[in-house]
Structure 1
Amino acid sequence: MRYLLLILLFSPAALADPSLECSDASSQVEIGECVGEMENRVNQAVEASFRIAQQAATELDEVTGRVVAQPALEAAQKVWVIYRDTQCEAVGASYGGGSGTGIAITSCRVELGRARVEELLAFAN
């Protein structure tokens, strides 16, 4: 049941290049808006997945009597955000300031966010 929200937040073509999923878009502006909306949905999915993983980590810490899983998960999430932002800026830099830079950065953030959702849900299981 808790995964239903995550399924609804993703488009069916979760593994495709996000900009290619914007088949109705006919301009770079429309593609940029489309991938921007995807990024918003993916960010919501990352947040929801993180909450699920936090709950699992807290339960694990309670069962083991140790307080390590939850703090480790929080630290990993903070570093992941830095990695995502830095990696996607590097992707954007590879466009040499061209008109597709913003779309490339946002698409990168969508792709990495989708992967993070899977990682967080795997942690929770």
Structure 2
Amino acid sequence: MIKKICLFLLCLYPFHVAADPSLECSDAGSQVEIGACVSEAAQRVEAAMGIAQEIAMASAQELDEVTGRAVAVPAMNTAQEAWAAYRDAQCNAVGASFGGGSGTGIAIQSCKIELGRARITELMSMAQ
């Protein structure tokens, strides 16, 4: 069942190889349009991450049930909270490096997309 869900997730979530999500939106035109494109991409990554979290958590619950220990689920929760705190701090640092310039929001969203994509990969590897 989990493998079917994983395949479904891969269909919903396009894995891009571009170095910077804002480059994926570079044909959008103006900075406002690029910002909107990056924002939409960030929403898609958040949705995919939610699905990946559900899959990884189901796997952790199954492991806890099989082993009779309540270890994997709390560890998953702790890891996700720590990851979210890291993502926010890191992306705020990236944004700060723009000195308040007009590209700050795009840079922050791009950072969140990149880190979110990496987290999805990590979560999916836990579900195997």
Same fold (TM > 0.5): yes
Counterparts of residues 64-83 of structure 1 (less than 5 Å): 64-83=67-86
- Identical pairs, percent: 59
Report the Cα distance in structure 1 between the residues aligned to 2:83 and 2:105, rounded to whole angstroms: 20
Is the contact between residue 9 and residue 42 of structure 1 (CA under 8 Å) also seen in structure 2?
A: no
Paired residues of 2:18 and 2:24 also in contact (CA < 8 A): no
The answer on 1:95 being equivalent to 2:94 is no
Q: How well do the aligned residues superpose, as a CA RMSD in angstroms? A: 1.3
C-alpha distance in 2 between matches for 1:44 and 1:15: 20
**What is the Cα deviation at residue 32 of structure 1?**
0.5
- Superposition TM-score, scaled by structure 1 size: 0.94
Q: Structure 1 runs of 4+ off > 4 angstroms? A: none
Which segments of 5 or more consecutive residues in structure 2 lack a partner in the other structure? none
Structure 1: segments with no counterpart, 5+ residues: none
| Structure 1 residues 68-96: Cα deviation after superposition (integer angstroms, max 9, x where no partner) | 00010011111111111111000000011
Between Structure 1 and Structure 2, how many residues are aligned? Answer: 125
User: Which residue is 1:40 aligned to?
Assistant: 43
Letter in 1 for 2:28: A
